[in-house]
Structure 1
Amino acid sequence: MFVTLESLFLLLKQYQADVVLISATLFLRLAGALPNDRDAWGGFSNSVVLSVAVLGIVSAGVHHTGVIDFIFMRVLGRPKTYFAALIRLSLPAMPLAASISNTCVMGVMIPVIEKWCKEINMPPRLFLMPMSYIMLVVGAFAIFSTSSNLVVQSLLMERGLEPFGNFDIALLSLTCGMVTVLYCAIAVPMMLLYMEASETTSSSPTKGTPSTAGKKLFLANIQITGSLLNGQSLADSGLLTVMGKVANIVRVERMGEEIDLDTISEKFGLEQYDVMYVWTTSDAVLELIGLPGVSLIALDGGFEHQHRDDSRDIVEVVLDGLCPLVKQPMTSTTLLDNVYGANCLSIRPCTIQHFRKPQAQADEVRTMVALLRAQKRDADDAGVYRFCIGDNLILDVPRNFSAEYANSAHFTLVRKLNEDEEEGGKGDVSETQYRDMIISGGLLVMLIALVASKAMPLLEAALLTSFLMVLSGCLPQQKAFSAINIRIVLTIVGAFGIAKAVNLTNLAAVLARIICQLLAPLGQRGVMAGIFIATVGLGIVFHCTAVVSLLFPIVVAISESKNVPVPLHQAMAVMMMGACCQVLSPVSYQTNIMVFSSGCYTFADFPKVGFGIVILVGVISVGFVDQLIVTH
């Protein structure tokens, strides 16, 4: 009991899940709570756990060939209303999310949605979060669609219980998914669109300067390095044309002395070596790199970035939980250079998105800059800014960075910002690319057909598909190996060990008895509602695979209880749908982190929209599970 609670506490403190769970399982094995190695480490030989690893290669192959991008660009069109646009976007996204990793799908969708929204004149924030939620709910469509489903299936087989058929909960997931689409189509414009309008109307940029209202802004540091701009005003220098209005300047220093922002206007005269911190767009950051008379200063090292190096790329990344930068001080760390060969050109802090009002965001940025410029060199100082999960960075990186880290657990998003310049005009698909897209799409269909028809077990079908992806040239061998996320495997194995200990020590039976006694007056539906609420609640802070692993023995014990007998597979289906409702926090799931910064959302936006989805999915799952799943 103590080890389980301590593990949950460490996970809540954002310690790395694989390390915590594997360490907890090791401790339980050494303490004798797990009597043999099979109970502790049996997950390593579990075919379903191995399938989770191999399916990462299949997803990487489909992503690498560009077939997802190709499908979206052919389907979206130019709808006139938000309802029609969301339906158009959901049509290809839902079957893809039910077939491959929705992290891969979302990684492709973000730039597609941003480009498409410019064409149809709608804000991207109306689509990014809803699509993350829709794909989460629909992800339970097939047993092999999500890792949490596969974990439940594996635990059922390990206990000698009847497993689910591949599509036993498909109708339940599809019903919840369709209701989620309709809910988002109605609720999202009412909850989010008015904020877009208020930000746009509150902004009145000077003629000739770009508006940054409603756009994703980054903090960058520039210095006037040449005599070209010396003596010119802000208006005459052309800086405002690039970075926006004067209000986007959050700090100005001249010869080490801070200049009062109240004195800064369009007529403010620039002098050589002036240092400015600006709050501006990623496009402006790219322009500032090559702007004559201006140098972009890296935030982590202080060096000047004066021109575009052809041997390097400018990329946008979002930090994930396994990134070694997390909790490291920004201004004194050498990890960026040592690990990635990179430098931080600008940052959009995760903390900024606690605030909706532009003025509150500006105040937060000024506070951050004041801390950066304070004369503090001790990395242990509490005032030093430290990288956080969800921080959005613009990095100067080596050419191979994107290929190496596109599928890495270090980042939820890796996107080249200078790709359009290098590959602009890339609209036509070559014969080789077209061939690879057809082959990878065909192999994905083959995998689904083999598993659905039970002609081949999931592991063998996934391995066969992966080998064919590499042999056909759809995926380079090195990328295939890098697509295997060993840390996800370690997380699942560690969770298996703790779940086994919970069962062997009769802790599951005790907890099940308490739950049944508390919820007995509410009957069978009340007990299933308790299972759903517990799963959703734990899913706010813990990975879904850890949640279902820990709750599995408790749910089995509940189903065997004589007080309120609950059919096992119905209870499991409710738990699996609850595991897909990680919609109440931006850091509860990878796709939420990806859209968090891209859509300029606040923390409050996620539960504001997600709470209604939880209620709807809960009502459908608990109320109609006996009618919507296949019973044996």
Structure 2
Amino acid sequence: MGLEAILALAVVAGVFVALLFTRWPVEAVFLAALTVLVAAAVLPVDRAFAGFANSGLVTVALLYVVAGGVQETGAVEWLGRLLLGAPRGQRRALARIMLPAAGLSAFLNNTPLMALLIPLVKDWCRRTGISPSKLLLPLNHAAMLGGTCVLIGTSTNLVVSSLMVAAGQPALGMFEVTPVGLPVALAGLVYLLLASPRLLPERVPVAADTAAAREYLTEMLVQGGGPLVGKTIAQAGLWALGGLYLLEIDRHGRLLQAVAPDEVLAAGDRLVFVGAVESVVDLHRIRGLSPATTQVFRLDGPRNQRQLVEAVVGPHCPVVGKSVREGRFRNRYDAAIIAVARSGERLRSKIGDIVLRAGDTLLLEARPSFLERFRRAPDFLLISAIDGATPPRHERAPLALAILAAVVALAGFGLLDILAAALFGAAGMVASGCLSFTSARRSLDGSVLLTIGAAIGIGAALDGSGAARALALGLQGLIGHGPWQALLTVYLATLLLTQLITNNAAAALMVPLTLAMAGELGMAVRPLLLAVVMAASASYATPMGYQTNLMVFGPGGYRFGDYLRLGVPLHGVTALVTLAVLAPMLGV
């Protein structure tokens, strides 16, 4: 083994140690490793940064834009509410929640998907009386299982495909992982359905007590011709909302108080809610409801180019002592008040009639420039934007879903290359107005893209220096020459890595080694790479294994042992099915 190979292996070992024992960002670790390899002359500069022009990397970026369009239009949330329904019994609830999550995750990245589904499930649990701890972890694992069924289901699949292209291999096809991922997902879902009711205890989330939350008063209008007209309050999902209470309905001047869940909604109903800011934001995402104040629609620019902002009224604000209507707030600040909170006091007036006081907290719909214009003005004591609260464009949701379906069909049936299909989808999202150019830029996950680009360069260093070949020969000496032993070793090594470091990092480290091993053993490389794909996505046993594992940790009130109790047997199920499906592909 030459000096360059030793240096390359030392750098990869350093990457592993840094990922395991520090909290440095994954992309920073990989970029630092790439810099060291270039500085040590192990890797020429042109090869080091060729990964950032790799077609696989561009494909990943474009698919993030496509997913952003689906998310921005509220299509995922609309599908979630449509599919969840109102089941009876815990197992039926699990089935109704896991199947949609797995199906949606096959075509959407599961991180933004879980970000949308978690609040939906929490509210659903409050309505059905089921503890969130019984559903959120199985929901998370179902989404992870679904992500392994289609190429675009998870960034790990795309990372492996990108590294394959960089190594001169054909990219993974849209449904190439499906023959392995689908049986694994089905087996995993059956296990979760049977085992999770017994293995998961009922726990109270840390954040369950919302009694002290600031109460906003907000008004929503039932849109004529919308999907909520003719439905009862309960059927529309507006009864017993988490952190939100339906105070009354103003039906063309007639007040309906103490509203019953079987009250039928009519076009033009003005619904008055009180609740926490997160619940108010969720309310504005429900298809068929719109802000009752006409001021929102008199603001300049489309709603999807605005954001929600919290602002505390200062004592020198010129609207203090005036009603919202008299103060001409929209004309003065180019922002519309959609909710008002007054410390501990439940407001009952219409928003336009509320006389503002110093210290009132306003929830505003405004253009992004509002923060810069008034952040230091004496009119407000505090101004802060609410992340992820851009009003969705519900009318574009069917179009966004149609574009996503077209991308999947074009790539899946071989009519277009995956890069061309992704380019078509991203351009379609922006051109059709499902996603603004600014939102498209925000939808890109810079961490994943930088990691992929740097990992391609590190893989080139391992290959060019002979380090990958040396490692492959070493593994060959340990496991023997049989294809079964090679498959088992690749799967278990990737599985171990993905429990300790991120799944994308584990895939990035294993792909070049797997390619080299397959070359030395003269084996078909794609079954081994599919083993990497499946094992890298199997992060069920610890909260740190994957970012969505941590996302459900607090809302479900989980403990570390809950992940082990449910996840370790799931690892056994998915490993057995994966190896059983892949072994015949290797002639075992």
Is the structural similarity TM-score above 0.5?
Answer: yes
- Seen in structure 2, the aligned counterparts of structure 1 residues 165 and 505 have a Cα distance that, compared at 3 Å, is same
Any conservation in 2 of the 1:33–1:505 contact (CA below 8 Å)?
yes
- Aligned partners of 1:505 and 1:188: how far apart in 2? 48
1:473-622 equivalence runs, <5 A? 473-520=433-480, 523-562=482-521, 566-622=523-579
User: Is 2:49–2:453's contact at 8 Å kept on the other side of the alignment?
Assistant: yes
Query: CA offsets per residue over residues 97-127 of structure 1, 9 Å max, x none?
Result: 1111111211111111111112222111112
- Secondary structure, in 3 states, of the residue corresponding to 2:153? coil
The 1:218–1:53 alpha-carbon spacing in structure 2 relative to 1, beyond 3 Å, is farther
Distance in 1, Cα, partners of 2:62 & 2:212: 43
* Inter-CA distance 438–630: structure 2 relative to 1 (3 Å threshold): farther
Counterpart code for 1:310: L
Give 3-state SS (helix, strand or coil) of 2:184's partner: helix
Letter of the 1:576 counterpart = V
| Residue 37 (structure 2) aligns with | 28
> Which of 185, 202, 208 pairs up with 1:177?
185
Counterpart secondary structure, 2:543:
coil
1:113 matched to 2:121: yes
How many correspondences in the alignment? 437
Taking a change above 3 Å as real, the CA distance of residues 626 and 23 of structure 1, as seen in their structure-2 partners, is same
Q: Which residue of 1 aligns with 2:194?
A: 186
Q: Is contact 1:312–1:398 with CA below 8 Å preserved after alignment?
A: no
- Tell me, yes or no, if the aligned pair for 2:62 and 2:423 is still in contact at 8 Å: yes
Q: Which residue among 390, 394, 411 is the counterpart of 1:451?
A: 411
In the other structure, the counterpart of 1:439 is 399
Residue 139 of structure 1: how far off its partner (Å) = 0.9
Are the equivalent residues in 1 in contact too, given 2:340–2:363 (CA < 8 A)?
no
Q: 1:105 to 1:397 in 2, by over 3 A?
A: farther
TM-score of the superposed pair, with normalisation by structure 2: 0.68
Structure-1 separation of matches of 2:194 and 2:485:
29
Structure 2: state its 5+ residue gaps: 1-8, 214-242, 244-277, 280-338, 346-357, 366-370, 376-380
Distance of 1:99 and 1:630 partners within structure 2: 28
Aligned partners of 1:537 and 1:510: how far apart in 2?
21
- How far is the alpha carbon of 1:485 from its aligned partner? 2.0
The match for 2:137 is 129
Secondary structure of the equivalent of 1:622? helix
**CA 1:444–1:525: 2 relative to 1, 3 Å:** same
Alpha-carbon distance, 1:48 to partner = 0.9
Cα pair 2:205 2:558 within 8 Å, conserved = no
The amino acid that maps onto 2:344 is L
> Does the 8 A contact of 1:168 with 1:630 survive in 2?
no
| Corresponding residue of 1:463 | 423
Q: Compared with structure 1, are the counterparts of its residues 543 and 474 closer, same or farther at alpha carbon in structure 2 (3 Å cutoff)?
A: same
Look up the match of 2:289. none
Equivalent positions of 1:226-625 (< 5 A) are 290-291=343-344, 308-311=360-363, 398=383, 400-403=385-388, 433-520=393-480, 523-562=482-521, 566-625=523-582
User: Aligned letter for 2:37?
Assistant: L
Quote the offset at 1:311 in angstroms.
4.7
Corresponding residue SS for 2:435:
coil
1:216 aligns with 2:225: no
Deviation at 1:552, TM superposition (A): 1.2
RMSD (CA atoms): 3.5
Deviation for aligned residue 1:291: 2.5
The answer as to whether partners of 1:216 and 1:599 remain within 8 angstroms in 2 is: no
Tell me which amino acid in the other structure corresponds to 1:609.
Answer: L
User: 2-side partners of 1:28 and 1:401: how far apart?
Assistant: 41
Please give the secondary structure, in 2, of the residue aligned with 1:310.
strand
The CA distance in 2 between the partners of 1:528 and 1:289, in whole Å, is 63
- The CA distance in 1 between the partners of 2:343 and 2:210, in whole Å, is 17
Q: Does residue 140 of the first structure (1) align with residue 148 of the second (2)?
A: yes
Indicate conservation of the 8 Å contact 1:584/1:610, yes or no: yes
Give the aligned partner of residue 246 of structure 2: none
- Kindly provide the amino acid, as one letter, of the partner of residue 309 in structure 1: T
CA contact (8 A) 1:137 1:577 kept: no
Q: CA deviation at 1:220?
A: 12
Alpha-carbon shift at residue 168 of structure 1 (Å): 1.8
AA of the residue aligned to 2:73: T
Quick one: distance in 2 between partners of 1:557 and 1:585?
30
- Alignment-derived partner of residue 258 in structure 1: none
1:71 and 2:79 correspond: yes
Q: Give the CA deviation at 1:566.
A: 4.2
TM-aligned CA deviation for residue 287 of structure 1:
13
CA distance in 2 between partners of 1:25 and 1:626 (Å): 35
Deviations 1:125-172 (A, max 9, x none): 112111211221221212233222222222223323344332122021
Task: Determine if contact 1:132/1:592 at 8 Å carries over to the other structure.
Answer: yes
Q: 1:154 aligns with which of 159, 162, 176?
A: 162
TM-superposed CA distance for 1:572, in Å, is 0.9
Give aligned-pair identity as a percent. Answer: 25
Secondary structure at the aligned position of 1:402 is classed as: coil
Matched-pair contact (CA < 8 Å) for 2:51–2:453: yes
* Correspondence for 1:414: none
TM-superposed CA distance for 1:583, in Å, is 1.6
User: Structure 2 vs 1, CA of residues 508 and 289 (structure 1 numbering), >3 Å: closer, same or farther?
Assistant: farther
Aligned letter for 2:526? Answer: H
Question: Alpha carbons of 1:509 and 1:309: their partners in 2 closer, same or farther (altered >3 Å)?
Answer: same
| 1:278-324 deviation digits (Å, cap 9, x = unpaired) | xxxx99xx9998227xxxxxxxxxxxxx95510579xxxxxxxxxxx
Deviation at 1:607, TM superposition (A): 2.5
